[in-house]
A and B are shown apart, each in its own frame.
Chain A
Amino acid sequence: MTPAVVAARLEPSPPRRRGPAGSRNQRTIAWLMMLPAAVLIITFLIVPIGLTFVLAFTDAKLISPRPAQFIGVDNFVRLFENGTFWASLRNTIIFTIVIVPFQSGLALGLALLVNTKMRGTNFFRTIYFLPLVTSIVVVSMLWLFMYQPNGLINSILARFGIQGPDWLGNPATALLAIILMSAWQAMGLHMVVWLAGLQTIPADLYEAADLDGASKWQQFANVTWPGLRQTRTFILITITIAAFGLFTQVNLMTQGGPLNATTTLVYQAVQTGFRQQQTGYASAISLVFFVLVLIVTLIQRYLTRDKEVR
C-alpha cells in the first residue's frame, strides 16, 4: 500500500455524495456483482418464506394422500384458541427481554475485565470464548447433565448450603435455566464485539479524563459508554434476533416442558410441522412469528433512530 493511500484512509470519511443514480455502466456492474447473492437469497430465503405465507392458509400435511386445500384463516383461529401457542409467545418474549440486557451486560463486564494489560489476559479471553465455538448440540447435552437435581450445579450450591432446585424439571426454573446456559454459550461472541468496540475508543480520551481527575466510574460513564454507541446498537439487534429464534436448547433439553414452561414459537412450529406433520398449521405459527419479529425490529429501529444519524 502506498503512503498516499494510507494518508487518505486516515482522514475522516467525507459525507456521502448525494447525486443522481450512477452511470449506466455502474448500474450494470452493480447488478452483475449482486447477481450471485441475489439469486441465492431469492431461491433459498425469499421463496421458502413466501411459501410459508401461502401454506399458512391451507391444511397441508407433511404426510397425506390428500392434496392440500385452502382453508382461509382457520389455522389462525385454532392457533389463537390454543394455550400452548400463548405459552410459546409468552416464553419467547420473556426469554428475549431477560437475555438481551443480561447477556450483553455480562459480556461487557467480561470485555472490560480482559481489556487490560495483566498477566494471562489472552488466556482468559480464550477461555471465555471457548463455549461459543462449541456446538450448541454438544453444549445442550452437557448442561443437561449439569442441571440434574443431583448434578454438578446443585452439588456446588450444596457446598454453600443452598438446596438447588430441579432446574429443568421445575416450571418455575426451567426457562431461567435455559436462559443461563444460552447466555453462557453466546457470551464469548459479544465479549469480543464489545472488546473491539472498546478498542476503538481513543486512548487520549482516557488520558484527558485522568488529568481531569475523573474516577473509574466517571470515566466509564463519560468516555467508555458514549464511545460504545454503535457497538450497543449492533449487539442489541444481534442478540434480539438470536433470542427470538430460540430452538435447539429447548428441543434437546426440555421439549418445551414442564407445563409449557419453555416452549417457544420456533419450537412449536417445528413440533407441529415436523413431528405432528401439520405443515399448514405450523406455517401459521411461522407467520405469526415473522410478524412479531418485524414489529420488534421496527420498534428497535424507532428507538435507536436518532443515534443513527451520522
Chain B
Amino acid sequence: MWTHNAGNEAELAAIEAIVDAFNESQEEYTVKVQAFPQDSYNQSVVAAASSKSLPCILDIDGPNVPNWAWAGYLAPLEGIEDLVADYLPSTVGTYEDQIYSYGYYDVALTMVSRESYLNDNGIRIPTVEQPWTVDEFNAALETLKATGQFEYPADFATSFTGEWWPYAYSPLLQSFGGDLINRDDYRSADGVLNGPEAIEWATWFRSLVTNGYIPLKSGADPAADFINGKSAILYNGTWTATATRDAFDDVVFLPSIDAGNGPKIGGGSWQWGMSATCEDQEGALAYLKFAAADEWVAKVAGDTQNIPTTESAAAEVEGYGPDGENNIFRTYSEEFALVRPPTPGYPFIATTFQTAAQDILNGADPQQTLDQAVADIDANQESNNYFE
C-alpha cells in the first residue's frame, strides 16, 4: 500500500493506525505501508504504473482518478457504494458511473483575515448566506490599500505551483460562470474557458494585480507574510488555520467571493483506490471496506485537521462538533465545493490552465490566451479520441 504522506507525520500515523487495526482484525491479509513525499508522488506512481509494479492499494489526488481509471491503472471498488453513501460527494472518485476511490476528508478554500482589520475599516464581514460580491471585495481591497498599513491588501498565494493553480483559481472562474471544460460531454472547452464570462474573470483577475491589490508573485510562504502583517486577506486552504489561529486571536475564515454564480471552491483531496494489477483484489477490497468506517474518517480527518467527509464522523472530531470553530469549513465544502472536471484529460487541462492563468496575471491578452488554451485542450481531447 502506498501513500503520499511521507514527511506528514500526523496523517501517516493515522493511516498506520488503520492498517494496524486491519491487520489485527483478521488473519488472512497483511497490509504494509510505504510512504512517499507528496511533491513527487505522482511521478513515482506513473513510473511504477508504466512498469506494472503498482502496489495493491494506493492513494490518489482526487482529480487524477478518472485519468488513472481510464488508463487502466485502477480497478473499480465493487460493493463499496453503501459504505460511502454518506460521504461528501467531492470525496468519492467515480468514473463512468463506477466508484474508484474514496477519501476521508476534504479541504476548503477560504479568505483568511482578522476581524480587527475589517471592523476598523468599516468592511462588512461576509457570511455563507451573504458572501462578498466582486464589487464589494474590490471596494474592501481599495479601503485596505488606502490605509497604507499593508504591503498588499490581499495575497492570493500566487507563488504556489502545480495543482494549486487549477485548484484555487478555477473556482473563481466558475463563480463568474466559466469553467475548464464543457461538463455536458467533456469534449471541448470552447465557449466555457474562452466565453464572455471567462474573459470577465480574466480581466478581473489581472486587475487585482494592476490595482495593486495582490502581489503578482507572492512570497515563498504567503501565510508567514500574513502573520507578519504584510497582507490583510489571505486566499488559501484550510491548512493555514492552525498557524494563523496561533498568531492572532481574532482571525476569521471567510467564504470565497460570489461573482454571480455563488461562491465556488475546489473539491476533492487525496483518496484511496485499488490498482488494476493487484494480485489479491479481494484482500485489497477487504481493507478498503474496513477502512471506510466512520471511526477512521474521524481519526484521519481529526489528526490532520481537515474536514471529515461524513457528518457522523464530524461530530467526533474536535472543532467540528456542534458549534465547533471548524464547522464553517465543512459548511463551505457542502455548499460551495465543485470537483475539478472528472475527465481523463484533466492532467493536461490542469497544466494548460496553469500556464494560461499565469500569463493572464502577467498581463497577457485574456481573449488570446484563453483561445490558445482552448485550442490546446481541444487538440489533446481529440488526439485521445475524447477518452472513449
Direct contact of A and B (CB under 8 A): yes
The answer, yes or no, to whether B303 is at the interface (CB within 8 Å) is: no
The answer, yes or no, to whether B242 is at the interface (CB within 8 Å) is: no
Expressed in whole angstroms, the minimum distance between the Cβ of B134 and any Cβ of chain A is 24
Expressed in whole angstroms, the minimum distance between the Cβ of B44 and any Cβ of chain A is 12
Among A64, A149, A275, point to the contact of B217 (Cβ < 8 A): A149
Contact with A along B3-24 (1 / 0, CB 8 A): 0000000000000000000000
Q: From B43, B220, B385, name the one whose CB has the most chain A CB atoms within 10 angstroms.
A: B220
Decide: B362 and A65 in contact? CB cutoff 8 A.
no
The answer, yes or no, to whether B384 is at the interface (CB within 8 Å) is: yes
Instruction: Find chain A residues with CB under 8 A from B49 CB.
Output: 63
Decide: A274 and B359 in contact? CB cutoff 8 A.
no
Among A78, A150, A166, A259, point to the contact of B151 (Cβ < 8 A): A150
Residue of A nearest to B151 (CB): A150
Decide: B50 and A61 in contact? CB cutoff 8 A.
no
Residue of A nearest to B361 (CB): A258
Instruction: Find chain A residues with CB under 8 A from B364 CB.
Output: 259
Decide: A257 and B347 in contact? CB cutoff 8 A.
no
Contact with A along B221-265 (1 / 0, CB 8 A): 000000000000000000000000000000000000000000000
Decide: B161 and A255 in contact? CB cutoff 8 A.
yes
Decide: B50 and A62 in contact? CB cutoff 8 A.
yes
The answer, yes or no, to whether A227 is at the interface (CB within 8 Å) is: no
Among A84, A259, A277, point to the contact of B348 (Cβ < 8 A): A277
Expressed in whole angstroms, the minimum distance between the Cβ of B197 and any Cβ of chain A is 23
The answer, yes or no, to whether B351 is at the interface (CB within 8 Å) is: yes
The answer, yes or no, to whether B355 is at the interface (CB within 8 Å) is: yes
The answer, yes or no, to whether A231 is at the interface (CB within 8 Å) is: no
The answer, yes or no, to whether A148 is at the interface (CB within 8 Å) is: yes
Decide: A259 and B72 in contact? CB cutoff 8 A.
no
Decide: B50 and A259 in contact? CB cutoff 8 A.
no
Decide: A257 and B384 in contact? CB cutoff 8 A.
no
CB contacts under 8 Å to B, within A49-73, are: 59, 61-66
Decide: A59 and B362 in contact? CB cutoff 8 A.
no
Instruction: Find chain A residues with CB under 8 A from B29 CB.
Output: none
The answer, yes or no, to whether B130 is at the interface (CB within 8 Å) is: no
| CB-CB nearest 3 A-B residue pairs | A169-B217, A258-B362, A63-B71
Residue numbers of A with Cβ under 8 A of B are 59, 61-66, 78, 83-84, 144-145, 148-150, 166, 168-171, 255-260, 271, 274-278
Query: Can you name 12 extra interface pairs (CB under 8 A) apart from A65-B70, A166-B215?
Result: A59-B383, A63-B50, A144-B220, A150-B219, A166-B216, A258-B216, A258-B362, A259-B359, A260-B359, A274-B43, A276-B352, A277-B347
Can you spell out 22 A-B residue pairs with CB atoms less than 8 angstroms apart?
A62-B50, A63-B68, A63-B71, A145-B220, A148-B219, A148-B220, A166-B215, A166-B217, A168-B217, A257-B355, A257-B359, A258-B217, A258-B362, A259-B359, A259-B363, A271-B351, A274-B46, A275-B351, A276-B348, A276-B351, A276-B352, A278-B348
